[in-house]
């Protein structure tokens, strides 16, 4: 962004105003109609009490007051969502970076492994949820508990999805696991674009693997890394399917996320006004998260 | 975005004296990394293998046996059942139409927007970029009711468009973002040279930006296809007729009374429905390598 | 900024348009509209198994009707997964796009639709078609709202039993419980013998919610939940406390399989049919899996069932228990015309015989259910229970409570049974939730 700050990033010296419009208008049009307009409608709804079939009743900031002050589930869901995000990020970004780096050192079979690694992403969430429910099960005993038993950690055996202390981690893991391959591909594509002469020069200067990674590769892929982080964060904060299918937020509210709570408020409680209020909060929460990521990663880049 | 300034290596990397250690380490590292990769691959592949094996089990064997053991007998009966229960061919076709339609919009419009923002540049480009950011992060679920009302007002309900438009709209920001960050890698000099040759913005888009973005296109298509192929929420909300049902909706036909599910048949159907996506992946993977190789000049 | 405001104004207009344009032109009680029958395509939005008996029969009847009335077509749009269905129904209702026929339980949401005149009066409709008297009173009662009004037409009739495995009970040295209060002790004995007492589908949540309805139904009758949902009765009341403590005790005695909250419908049934669990609470819709030769031969001869036990001082009788008539079909008042009326007359007249022929219990009494050839003796025994039913029935609470309270109850119930919260905490949370939400729905 540094270049942008001083002057608009204008790579082409002679371009007309019309050409900007020609390129910009069609995407904005689709985007406005499919995304921005409904968001505005949502924002509008958040000031109303409406169940879909009744007359809409203007309630001012009542929904917001209720959310911040009177709703214990909301805060629980908020904290859960943060924990869920943290686990997903570690699995997705950490896992992706490690595997992508390992892959670059591999001489044969890269393509095969890349494809295999991506497999979980193509399976529908319904099947994934079903499989993991069985993996975590204890009665009948599932794969995870069986494994723990075999390696002598029998004391850790538990119903992972029913234990209020483990359920959140248990529902985060499949989501994290599922998309690691995707992020790995993106990071891998960036890693492989790191100029060989830069790396070779560093190796000649005696750089170890870690130094090579930290000083050469990572700075080079930083823009892609930021994009990937933002992508993973926003998808993590929007995470919905797997917790919804596996536990429906339970037991109690132990795995309730803001998104599942919002969905239930809208379509189970038919409280569209309040659900919109929660989604406005999610939008702001995501904006803040993205701002924070940009701030942190940029500062490191500038340092 | 950040302009790429890779630090000069010699200035930052202190030389290590132990040259011998360096020669041994890669071997150990290589073995370790191989083992690690194999382990991770097993973790990644296992579910699909399990899915496929389960789809070959008899219902009885699935119900009574250990679900993680090898099946006691194999049967193709579930596949027959799967084809009998649902119209899988039509579901796959519909998912294909929706995925293709949305992908074309996402790629084309994404490239155009990124080109305008990153390459052409204009005064409010930061604002537009911020506007797109909102779309990346809004949870799609809450747009359902407004969208439904809007679509019914313009008579778009129960059409391919009603699925394609929101799917493309919500994926567009990510595509714009990806294209933007990849366009940064295209050096300014390339454009300047073309400009000096008298090429206008349209020709430059067609002759330089478009061909160079090939690998990004593959990435964007790859990422979005996964989400769109398995999208349930928009399809379930906007589609009513049997003829337009996509795969995730079709899989619903395997749910029986009070939530009872014939899992072995469902898994057979899942196996059938992910096959096209898998094939596309195998093909795209090749295209991706080519894209990467031809893009080697870009850096 | 100006553009933003303009867009917001447009949004207001779009929403207001649809929200207010809901006035219907037809009188919901005018069940015999005058005029010519003009065949057209009509739709039924439903939540039933795609290749189940109801859909197959209605498809066939629609084809028969179309032969006499060229141009007629019945478009069946099914979403078997209930939460997805409810979402679809609600969005359609919000956009005022409900089709001619649609499925719904007698929920508070449906009652609001009825109040707005969006659904035809089913009692008048059935009477005008001269079939009202054929229906089992219990099947119609299940569809009624609290005020006794009827807006949905049933297509099924089911009885819920507790199925059990004789051999496993014997092994643990326990008998069929004479009272609901015997069940915790029974579970303890079964657990000591290494047997899972009850297999339950925790994922779908309604099965566990059935259990909390049992004690109050015996203790205070069907009125308890009707008062509870409006905040007129409380969990803190004696009948409420009895069920809360009983549920906690079921949990303490480890009645349900470990980790039940995440186990699905098929898992639970498999545990019972594979002889791992001793008891399983399910309705007659599972007769084809539990009382035919499809059942695992190893347990086939060991399976029996008992109906909901009574308690000491029970105000309801042993032949009164949960007997739902399934999700009902509502008739859209806005699109009701001579064609819809004529088709319903045709279909409702022929439906019971066709349905009974599939081996299921018809919601009417004018037909005899055909027992399938591969049935075990238990099949007939189960059907016979329908002949001797009391007047009252236990209503599933998930159709009674307002949706927010219902959702919270389902969540807290799991915590209560798992021992994560005390009965006191449960009582306080739930009474508080009802006090907050009931007024909005039952004003």
Instruction: Give the Cα separation of B122 and A31 in Å (integer).
Output: 19
Output C172-176 pairs: Cβ under 8 A, ≥24 positions apart.
Answer: C172/C278, C176/C306
Homologous superfamily assigned to C160-322+397-441:
Periplasmic binding protein-like II (3.40.190.10)
Average of pLDDT values for C117-139? 94
Pairing of strands C160-165, C101-104: unpaired
**Are A262 and A268 spatial neighbours (Cβ–Cβ below 8 Å)?**
no
Instruction: Give the Cα separation of A108 and A110 in Å (integer).
Output: 6
Nearest to C266 among B145, B252, B260 (CB): B260
Answer yes or no: is A20 within a domain: no
Q: Which residues of A touch C187 (CB under 8 A)?
A: none
Q: Which residues of B touch C51 (CB under 8 A)?
A: 85, 253
Residue B229 has pLDDT above 90, yes or no: no
User: Encoding tokens for residue A276?
Assistant: 């919109």
Phi, psi (deg, nearest 5) at residue C68: -80, -25
Alpha helices per DSSP H over A151-217: 167-192, 196-204, 209-211
Higher pLDDT, C230 or C9: C230
For residue C43, the SS3 value is strand
pLDDT in the model for residue C3: 46
Answer yes or no: is A263 within a domain: yes
Q: Which residues of B touch A180 (CB under 8 A)?
A: 44
Calculate how close chain A gets to B48, using CA atoms only, in Å. Answer: 7
- Asked if B64 reaches chain C (Cβ–Cβ under 8 Å), the answer is yes
Calculate how close chain B gets to C237, using CA atoms only, in Å. Answer: 32
- Asked if B270 reaches chain A (Cβ–Cβ under 8 Å), the answer is yes
Neighbours of B89 (CB within 10 A): 11
Question: pTM, whole model, 2 decimals?
Answer: 0.85
Nearest to A252 among C90, C116, C412 (CB): C412
Owning domain of residue A240: 57-302
Calculate how close chain C gets to A137, using CA atoms only, in Å. Answer: 7
Strand partners, C76: C44
Q: Which residues of C touch A56 (CB under 8 A)?
A: 15-16, 19
User: Encoding tokens for residue A6?
Assistant: 């001083």
Chains that touch B (3 or more CB pairs under 8 A): A, C
Answer yes or no: is A36 within a domain: no
Domain C2-157+324-369 fold: D-Maltodextrin-Binding Protein; domain 2 (3.40.190)
Q: What is the DSSP letter of C404?
A: H
Alpha helices per DSSP H over C103-237: 108-115, 122-128, 137-143, 166-172, 183-192, 206-220, 223-228
- Asked if A60 reaches chain B (Cβ–Cβ under 8 Å), the answer is no
pLDDT in the model for residue B289: 52
Q: How far is CA C80 from CA A23, A75, B241, B249, C47, in A?
A: 44, 33, 14, 10, 5
Instruction: Give the Cα separation of A180 and A193 in Å (integer).
Output: 20
Per-residue pLDDT of chain A (303 residues; tens, 9 = 90+): 333 333 445 566 667 788 888 899 999 999 999 988 988 888 888 999 888 888 888 998 999 999 998 888 999 999 999 999 999 999 899 988 888 888 887 777 777 787 788 778 878 787 788 788 888 988 778 888 888 988 888 888 889 999 999 999 999 999 888 888 878 877 887 888 788 888 888 888 887 878 888 888 888 888 778 878 888 888 888 788 888 888 888 798 999 999 899 888 888 888 888 988 998 888 888 888 888 888 887 776 665
Percent of chain B surpassing pLDDT 90: 11
Mutate one of A12, A16, A104, A138 to test the B interface: name it (highest B CB count within 10 A).
A12
Average of pLDDT values for C211-216? 96
**Contacts for B10 with CB less than 8 Å, ≥ 6 apart:** A201, A205
Instruction: Give the Cα separation of B123 and A8 in Å (integer).
Output: 6
Nearest to A267 among C8, C86, C420 (CB): C86
The string of DSSP codes covering A241-257 is HHHHHHTTT-STTTT--
Task: Output the 3-class SS for chain B.
Answer: CCCCCCCCHHHHCCCCCCHHHHHHHHHHHHHHHHHHHHHHHHHHHHHHHHHHHHHCCCHHHHHHCCCCCCCCCCCCHHHHHHHHHCCHHHHHHHHHHHHHHHHHHHHHHHHHHHHHHHHHCCCCHHHHHHHHHHHHHCCHHHHHHHHHHHHHHCCCCCCHHHHHHHHHHHHHHHHHHHHHHHHCCCCHHHHHHHHHCCCCHHHHHHHHHHHHCHHHHHHHHHHHHHHHHCCCHHHHHHCCCHHHCCHHHHHHHHECHHHCECHHHHHHHHHHHHHHHHHHHHHHHHHHHHHHHHHHHHC
For residue A232, the SS3 value is helix
Q: What is the CATH number of the domain that holds A117?
A: 1.10.3720.10
Higher pLDDT, B23 or B10: B23
Confidence of residue C384 (pLDDT cuts 50, 70, 90): very high
| Chain C, nearest residue to A247 by Cα | C262
| Chain C, nearest residue to B240 by Cα | C77
CA angle at A171 for the pair A176 and A134, rounded to the nearest 5°: 110
User: Encoding tokens for residue A12?
Assistant: 């082409």
Q: Which residues of B touch C296 (CB under 8 A)?
A: 60, 63-64
- Asked if B67 reaches chain A (Cβ–Cβ under 8 Å), the answer is yes
- Asked if B193 reaches chain A (Cβ–Cβ under 8 Å), the answer is no
- Pick the closest to residue C111 from C346, C291, C330, C267 (CA basis): C330
- Asked if B261 reaches chain C (Cβ–Cβ under 8 Å), the answer is yes
Would C2-157+324-369 and C160-322+397-441 be classified into the same CATH topology? Answer: yes
CA angle at A160 for the pair A154 and A162, rounded to the nearest 5°: 130
| Chain C, nearest residue to A267 by Cα | C87
Instruction: Give the Cα separation of C260 and A163 in Å (integer).
Output: 11
Nearest to A136 among C14, C91, C262 (CB): C262
Calculate how close chain B gets to A206, using CA atoms only, in Å. Answer: 5
Strand partners, C74: C42
pLDDT by residue (tens digit) across B36-47? 888 888 888 887
B residues 133-192 closer than 8 Å to A (CB): 133-147, 149-150, 165-166, 168-170, 172-174, 176-178, 181, 184-185, 188, 191-192
Residue C126 has pLDDT above 50, yes or no: yes
pLDDT in the model for residue A11: 62
Inter-chain residue contact C259 with A139, CB threshold 8 Å: yes
Domain boundaries, chain C: 2-157+324-369, 160-322+397-441
Strand partners, C364: C135
pLDDT in the model for residue B110: 93
Answer yes or no: is A128 within a domain: yes
Answer yes or no: is A17 within a domain: no
| Chain B, nearest residue to A128 by Cα | B47
Q: Which residues of B touch C82 (CB under 8 A)?
A: 259
Nearest to C22 among A43, A53, A272 (CB): A53
Q: Which residues of C touch A265 (CB under 8 A)?
A: 404
Mutate one of C261, C272, C276, C410 to test the A interface: name it (highest A CB count within 10 A).
C261
Average of pLDDT values for B270-292? 72
Q: Which residues of B touch C205 (CB under 8 A)?
A: none
- Asked if B152 reaches chain C (Cβ–Cβ under 8 Å), the answer is yes
Spell out where chain A has E strands: 48-49, 57-58
Residue C9 has pLDDT above 50, yes or no: no
Mutate one of A124, A142, A208, A298 to test the B interface: name it (highest B CB count within 10 A).
A124
| Chain B, nearest residue to A285 by Cα | B137
Inter-chain residue contact B152 with C77, CB threshold 8 Å: no
**Contacts for C225 with CB less than 8 Å, ≥ 6 apart:** C213, C216, C395, C397, C400, C401
Inter-chain residue contact C19 with A50, CB threshold 8 Å: yes
pLDDT in the model for residue A257: 92
CA angle at A79 for the pair A75 and A80, rounded to the nearest 5°: 110
- The secondary structure element, H or E, covering residue C392 is none
Is the link from the previous residue into A147 a cis peptide, with omega within 30 of 0?
no
Residue B17 has pLDDT above 80, yes or no: no
- The secondary structure element, H or E, covering residue C67 is helix C53-68
Instruction: Give the Cα separation of C311 and C408 in Å (integer).
Output: 28
Instruction: Give the Cα separation of A65 and A71 in Å (integer).
Output: 9
**Are B246 and B91 spatial neighbours (Cβ–Cβ below 8 Å)?**
yes
Answer yes or no: is A206 within a domain: yes
- The secondary structure element, H or E, covering residue C103 is strand C101-104
- Pick the closest to residue B25 from A221, A201, A203 (CA basis): A203
Instruction: Give the Cα separation of B117 and B129 in Å (integer).
Output: 8
Answer yes or no: is A16 within a domain: no
Q: How far is CA C380 from CA A116, B237, B297, C370, C377, in A?
A: 53, 42, 78, 9, 6
Alpha helices per DSSP H over C358-422: 377-384, 403-418
Neighbours of C179 (CB within 10 A): 12
- Torsion region of A236: left, alpha or beta (phi above 0 gives left; psi -120 to 50 gives alpha): alpha
Neighbours of A195 (CB within 10 A): 13
pLDDT in the model for residue B30: 76
| Chain B, nearest residue to A276 by Cα | B142
For residue C278, the SS3 value is strand
Phi, psi (deg, nearest 5) at residue B70: -70, 145
Q: Which residues of A touch B109 (CB under 8 A)?
A: 26-27, 30-31
Q: What is the DSSP letter of C160?
A: E
Domains of chain B: 86-294 (1.10.3720.10)
Higher pLDDT, B76 or C209: C209
Q: Which residues of A touch B181 (CB under 8 A)?
A: 223-224, 226-227
Instruction: Give the Cα separation of A42 and A29 in Å (integer).
Output: 19
> What is the total count of domains within chain A?
1
Calculate how close chain A gets to B168, using CA atoms only, in Å. Answer: 8
Inter-chain residue contact C77 with B263, CB threshold 8 Å: no
pLDDT in the model for residue C25: 52
Q: Count of CB contacts below 8 A, A vs B?
A: 333
């Amino acid at each position: 962004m540094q270049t942008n700050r001083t002057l608009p990033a204008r790579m082409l010296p002679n371009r007309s105003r019309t050409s900007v419009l020609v390129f910009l208008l069609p995407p904005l049009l689709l985007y406005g109609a499919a995304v921005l307009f409904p968001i505005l409608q949502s924002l509008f709804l958040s000031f109303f009490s409406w169940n879909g079939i009744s007359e809409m009743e203007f309630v001012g900031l009542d929904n917001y007051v209720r959310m911040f002050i009177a709703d214990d589930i909301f805060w629980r869901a908020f904290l859960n969502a943060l924990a869920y995000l943290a686990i997903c990020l570690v699995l997705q970004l950490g896992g992706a970076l490690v595997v992508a780096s390992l892959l670059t050192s591999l001489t044969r079979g890269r393509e095969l492994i890349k494809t295999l690694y991506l497999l979980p992403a193509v399976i529908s969430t319904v099947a994934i949820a079903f499989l993991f429910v069985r993996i975590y099960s204890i009665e009948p005993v599932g794969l995870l508990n069986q494994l723990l038993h075999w390696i002598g950690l029998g004391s850790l055996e538990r119903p992972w999805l029913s234990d209020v202390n483990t359920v959140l981690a248990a529902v985060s893991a499949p989501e994290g696991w599922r998309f690691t391959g995707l992020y790995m591909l993106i990071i891998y594509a960036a890693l492989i674009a790191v100029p060989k002469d830069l790396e070779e020069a560093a190796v000649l200067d005696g750089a170890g693997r870690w130094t090579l990674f930290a000083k050469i590769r990572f700075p080079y892929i930083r823009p892609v890394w930021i994009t990937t982080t933002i992508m993973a964060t926003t998808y993590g904060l929007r995470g919905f399917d797997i917790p919804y299918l596996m536990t429906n937020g339970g037991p109690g509210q132990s795995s309730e996320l803001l998104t599942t709570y919002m969905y239930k408020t809208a379509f189970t409680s038919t409280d569209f006004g309040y659900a919109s209020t929660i989604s406005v909060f999610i939008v702001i929460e995501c904006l803040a998260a993205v701002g924070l990521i940009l701030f942190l990663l940029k500062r490191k880049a500038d340092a | 975005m950040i302009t790429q300034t890779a630090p000069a290596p010699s200035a930052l990397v202190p030389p290590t004296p132990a040259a011998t250690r360096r020669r041994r380490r890669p071997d150990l590292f290589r073995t370790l990394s191989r083992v690690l990769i194999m382990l991770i691959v097993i973790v990644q592949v296992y579910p699909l293998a399990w899915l496929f094996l389960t789809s070959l089990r008899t219902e009885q064997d699935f119900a009574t046996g250990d679900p993680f053991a090898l099946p006691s007998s194999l049967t193709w009966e579930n596949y027959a059942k799967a084809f009998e229960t649902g119209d899988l061919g039509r579901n796959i076709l519909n998912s294909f139409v929706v995925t293709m339609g949305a992908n074309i919009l996402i790629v084309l419009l994404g490239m155009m927007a990124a080109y305008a923002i990153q390459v052409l540049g204009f005064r409010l480009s930061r604002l537009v970029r911020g506007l797109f950011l909102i779309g990346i992060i809004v949870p799609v679920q809450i747009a359902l009711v407004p969208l439904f009302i809007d679509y019914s007002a313009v008579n778009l309900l129960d059409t391919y468009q009603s699925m394609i438009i929101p799917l493309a709209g919500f994926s567009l920001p990510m595509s714009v973002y990806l294209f933007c960050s990849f366009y940064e890698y295209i050096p300014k000099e390339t454009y300047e040279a073309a400009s000096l040759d008298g090429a206008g913005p349209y020709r430059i888009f067609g002759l330089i930006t478009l061909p160079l973005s090939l690998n990004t296109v593959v990435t964007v298509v790859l990422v979005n296809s996964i989400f769109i192929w398995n999208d349930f929420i928009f399809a379930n909300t906007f589609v009513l007729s049997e003829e337009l049902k996509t795969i995730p909706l079709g899989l619903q036909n395997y749910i029986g009374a009070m939530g009872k599910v014939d899992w072995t048949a469902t898994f057979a159907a899942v196996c059938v429905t992910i096959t096209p996506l898998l094939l596309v992946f195998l093909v795209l993977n090749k295209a991706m390598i080519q894209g990467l190789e031809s893009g080697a000049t870009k850096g | 900024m100006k553009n933003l405001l303009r867009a917001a104004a447009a949004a207001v207009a779009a929403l207001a348009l649809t929200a207010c344009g809901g006035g219907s032109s037809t009188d919901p009680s005018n069940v015999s509209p005058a005029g010519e029958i003009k065949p057209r395509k009509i739709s039924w939005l439903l939540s039933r198994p795609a290749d189940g008996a109801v859909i197959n029969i209605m498809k066939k009847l629609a084809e028969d009707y179309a032969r006499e009335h060229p141009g007629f077509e019945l478009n069946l749009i099914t979403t078997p997964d209930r939460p997805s269905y409810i979402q679809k129904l609600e969005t359609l209702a919000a956009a005022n796009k409900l089709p001619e026929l649609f499925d719904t339980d007698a929920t508070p949401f449906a009652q609001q639709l009825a109040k707005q005149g969006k659904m035809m009066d089913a009692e008048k409709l059935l009477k005008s078609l001269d079939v009202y008297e054929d229906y089992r009173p219990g099947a119609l009662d299940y569809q009624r709202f609290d005020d006794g009004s009827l807006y949905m037409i049933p297509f099924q009739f089911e009885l819920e039993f507790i199925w059990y495995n004789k051999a496993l009970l014997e092994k643990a040295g326990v008998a069929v419980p004479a009272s609901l209060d015997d069940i915790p002790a029974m579970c303890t004995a079964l657990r000591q013998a290494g047997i899972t007492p009850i297999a339950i589908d925790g994922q779908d949540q309604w099965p566990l919610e059935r259990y909390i309805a049992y004690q109050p139904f015996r203790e205070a009758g069907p009125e308890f939940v009707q008062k509870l949902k409006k905040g007129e009765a409380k969990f803190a009341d004696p009948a409420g406390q009895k069920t809360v403590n009983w549920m906690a005790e079921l949990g303490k005695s480890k009645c349900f399989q470990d980790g039940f909250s995440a186990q699905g419908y098929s898992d639970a049934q498999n545990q019972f049919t594979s002889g791992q669990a001793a008891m399983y609470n399910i309705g007659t819709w599972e007769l084809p899996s539990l009382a035919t030769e499809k059942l695992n031969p190893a347990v086939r001869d060991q399976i029996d069932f008992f109906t909901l036990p009574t308690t000491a001082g029970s105000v309801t009788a042993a032949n009164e228990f949960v007997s739902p008539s399934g999700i009902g079909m509502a008739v859209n008042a806005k699109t009701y015309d001579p064609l819809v009326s004529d088709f319903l007359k045709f279909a409702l007249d022929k439906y019971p015989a066709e349905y009974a022929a599939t081996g299921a219990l018809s919601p009417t009494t004018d037909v005899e259910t055909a027992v399938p050839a591969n049935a075990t003796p238990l099949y007939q025994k189960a059907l016979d229970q329908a002949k001797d039913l009391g007047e009252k029935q236990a209503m599933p609470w998930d159709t009674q409570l307002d949706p927010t309270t219902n959702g919270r109850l389902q969540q807290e119930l799991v915590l209560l049974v798992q021992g994560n919260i005390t009965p006191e905490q449960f009582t306080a949370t739930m009474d508080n939730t009802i006090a907050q939400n009931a007024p909005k729905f039952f004003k």
